[in-house]
Every structure is written in C-alpha cells, then in structure tokens.
Structure 1
Amino acid sequence: MATTLEVQKRETKPHSNITSIRNAGRIPGVIYGYKAENVPVSVDSLTFIKAVRDNGRNSVFSVSVDGAKLNVLLHDYQIDPLKGDIEHIDLLAVNMSEEVEANVTINLVGESKGVKLSGVLQQVLYEITVSATPDKLPEVVEIDITDLDIGDAITVTDIPKNGDYEVITEGEEVIAAVSAPRTADEPETTSSAVTEPEALHGSDETPNK
C-alpha cells in the first residue's frame, strides 16, 4: 500500500513565492505524468524527508490534488550545493500496472577472495537502471563479491535475474573489480561514490530551513 504524502497546490508567480515557501519549511515541487499535467505543489520538508527515509527512495506515495488521488514516485530533486537542502522535487504520477524506469543503488556484500590476498577492490558503478511496475521497484540491488579474485571483475550481466524487475543498464558495464596489490612505488588512488544528499539518509540531524 502506498504511503500517504500531504501536498498543497501552489501559485507559480511571482518568483518570490518560491522563497517564501522555502522559508516556511516547505519544498516546492511539481507533479506530472499519468493523469497529471505539471501541477505545482509544495510539501512539508521534514515530513517529506522522513517519508523517504522510512519508506525508501523508490517507494510509491499517494497524494491528493483537487480531490483526485494519484500514486507518485520521487523522480528527481535539486539540492542547494551550499546548504545541502532539497530545493525542488519532481513527483512522477504513475499507473501501478505499467512499468517505469528508476535508478537503484548497488550494494556490494561479502568479502572478496582477492581482497583477502591483499588485492584492491574498486567499485566503478554505484547505480543501475531497472524497469518494473512501481510496486516492484527495489531500493537496492545486492551483489555478492565473495568469489571475486585478483584480476576478476563483475559486470552488469553478472547480476542474477530477478522476476520483479529487468535491468536496463548496458550489460558490459563493470560494477567492481579486484586489482593486484599495489607496490610501494605506486600512488594510492581512491574512487568516490555519487551518493544521495544526507537529507535523504538516516541522519539524526534536522535539515536547514
């Protein structure tokens, strides 16, 4: 069952309305998609963040606009690069019986055989795109790297088939690999994941208003 999310319709002019909405602790957004055409809305910031943390980034939320019930997904969001606050959200109205595409986080699980031999694990891909009906979209895809030896790599093709969703990302894309141990003369390199803002994760901090 979809979690209810309270939204309010908002005026789009003048521009100062956006500032006042944010100052009031609300996030401006828009609903579009199935049976909805660019409906400007706003949602309470704390309520929205809690709903995403509790239910997941790809969860279906039920909203009411002008008396009409819609099922929506968090399709996109914009972040203030300085404050880290969510500045705007796009809510995609969906037909629960039709497949949609969504990005899903990859989690590596297990300890690689190659790492036990002092190999270096490098994760290259942190998200994949999947297609599924809205109620079947996963929050994460776990990949077991236990058998990954030095010189081995796991690609998207190696992800086990799942009856709930189809992987859309190109199969030859490398997810992770284990390279040989570094020598003393080799510089250490690090890779960084592209992550969602802290606001959408389980932090105890209250977002800035």
Structure 2
Amino acid sequence: MKSITIKGSERESVGKKATKALRNAGEVPCVVYGGDKPLHFSAPELAFKDLVYTPNAHTVAIELDGGEVVRAVMQDIQFHPVTDRILHVDFYQLFDDKPVTMNIPVRLQGNSPGVRNGGRLLFRKRKLAIKALPDKLPDFFDVDISKLKIGQNISVETLLNDDFTILHPETTVVVQVMTARAAVVEDDEEEEGEEGAAAEGAEGEAAEGTAQE
C-alpha cells in the first residue's frame, strides 16, 4: 500500500488552551495510539490534503522533529460542523508483526452486460473493512463486472484471500444488477417469452372457436 508522509511536531502541552492556539495557527492536533504510550503531535492542515480528500487508502509516515518516523494508519477524523476544517486526527501505529484493521476501497472494472440491457447497477459496498499485517494491505479491491448479468451479484465470498481477513459476512453483496422496467433480461429468455405468448394466443383462438360452435 502507498504511503503518505506528514511532517509534524511533537506536542508537549495537550490542554484545551494549547489545542485552541494550535488550531488558530492552522495546525491540526493529532494522537497516535498503539505504541507504549499515546504520541501527541501537530501538523499543518494542508499536510492532510492527500490523505483525507481522496477515495484511496494510504498508510502514513509521520516525520517528527528530531528525525523520528512513526508508521501509522488514520483511524478517526473530526471536522468542524460549520467550516469543515479538520479539528483532530487519530492514528494507529503500525508494527510489522501486528495486524491492523482498515477500510479498503472497491474499484469496478469492465462494463456489465446487464446494465447494457437496461438493468440498474447497485454499488452496495464502496469500501470493505479488512484485517491484515501492514505489508499485506491492498490498495484496492478490483471487482470485474464484465460478466454481471441482470439479477446477478458479486459477493464478499469471491474476494477472499489468504493475505487478509475481510470483516464482513461472505454473503455480503458488493455490487449487483437489478431488473429495471425496460430491461432485456436475456435473448433466449425473450424468445421463450415470445413463443409462450404465441402459444397462449393460439389457445385463446381455439377456445373462441369452440365457444362459437
């Protein structure tokens, strides 16, 4: 998984007054959990642009004054309810031998024949929560929908991998194509439908002839 570098400064004071002063200066107070003790630091709000305002998932290399580098993943973020400014970010420290939980985005590949026939594509799960060692974290789940017909779906079961654990039931639907009013289900089914209609018409005519006699 790709990593983003965030340069920050370790915080000595974590009180409300110090936190307010940081925000007024354009800094974001942050905490890294998972180590021997919580690590408090701050970084410029612009430093989080490529981490927060993207559909992609990334790990983070936090570079602190003095040369210390901490590997982590973002766990939680708080925004101001009016201005949408970043108020606080929580991180979880990464260790090579410790699994971590993370949401991984899903990308759809190809064009669904069911959609071409008028079906409606429903993208149920745009992200999937997984648990894996840091070096086994995938950048994306690529889901091929090029054979997805009307009435079919792709579930978590098809995405299982020995490198990680998906934290959703195997039957969880990721993407599906539903029937729309004007949808053409399949050519062979359509032909059967026409033959059935012709047979019903013939039976109706025969019944009318009997009634007239």
Question: Which TM-score applies when normalising by structure 2?
Answer: 0.73
**Closer/same/farther in 2, CA of residues 105 and 3 from structure 1, 3 Å limit:** closer
Gaps of 5+ in 1: 184-209
Name the structure 2 match of 1:80.
Answer: 80
Q: Distance in 2 between matches of 1:182 and 1:29?
A: 51
2:105–2:141 Cα contact (<8 Å) kept = yes
How many matched pairs?
179
Name the structure 1 match of 2:97.
Answer: 97
Q: How high is the sequence identity, in percent, across the aligned residues?
A: 27
Q: Deviations over 1:26-76 (max 9, x none)?
A: 1111111033x222211111123246679x533241434777543222122
Q: Distance in 2 between matches of 1:97 and 1:64?
A: 23
1:58–1:138 Cα contact (<8 Å) kept = no
SS of residue in 2 equivalent to 1:49: helix
Higher helix share: 2
Name the structure 2 match of 1:206.
Answer: none
1:2–1:62 Cα contact (<8 Å) kept = no
Which residue identity does 2:79 align to in structure 1? Answer: I
1:12 aligns with 2:14: yes
SS of residue in 2 equivalent to 1:70: strand
SS of residue in 1 equivalent to 2:104: strand
Considering only CA atoms, is the larger Rg found in Structure 1 or Structure 2? 2
SS of residue in 2 equivalent to 1:6: strand
**Closer/same/farther in 2, CA of residues 2 and 147 from structure 1, 3 Å limit:** closer
Name the structure 1 match of 2:169.
Answer: 170
1:132–1:164 Cα contact (<8 Å) kept = yes
1:60–1:134 Cα contact (<8 Å) kept = no
| Larger RCO of the pair (alpha carbons < 8 Å, separation 6+) | 1
Gaps of 5+ in 2: 183-213
Q: Deviations over 1:143-182 (max 9, x none)?
A: 11111111111111122x4454332222111111111113
SS of residue in 1 equivalent to 2:72: strand
Name the structure 2 match of 1:125.
Answer: 125
2:61–2:69 Cα contact (<8 Å) kept = no
Superposition pairs of residues 1-209 of structure 1, within 5 angstroms = 4-10=5-11, 11-13=13-15, 15-35=16-36, 37-50=37-50, 57-64=57-64, 68-159=68-159, 161-182=160-181
SS of residue in 2 equivalent to 1:158: helix
Question: Which TM-score applies when normalising by structure 1?
Answer: 0.74
Which residue identity does 1:74 align to in structure 2? Answer: M
Q: Distance in 2 between matches of 1:8 and 1:89?
A: 14
2:6–2:60 Cα contact (<8 Å) kept = no
**Closer/same/farther in 2, CA of residues 116 and 67 from structure 1, 3 Å limit:** closer
Q: Distance in 2 between matches of 1:128 and 1:48?
A: 22
Which residue identity does 1:82 align to in structure 2? Answer: V
Which residue identity does 1:168 align to in structure 2? Answer: L
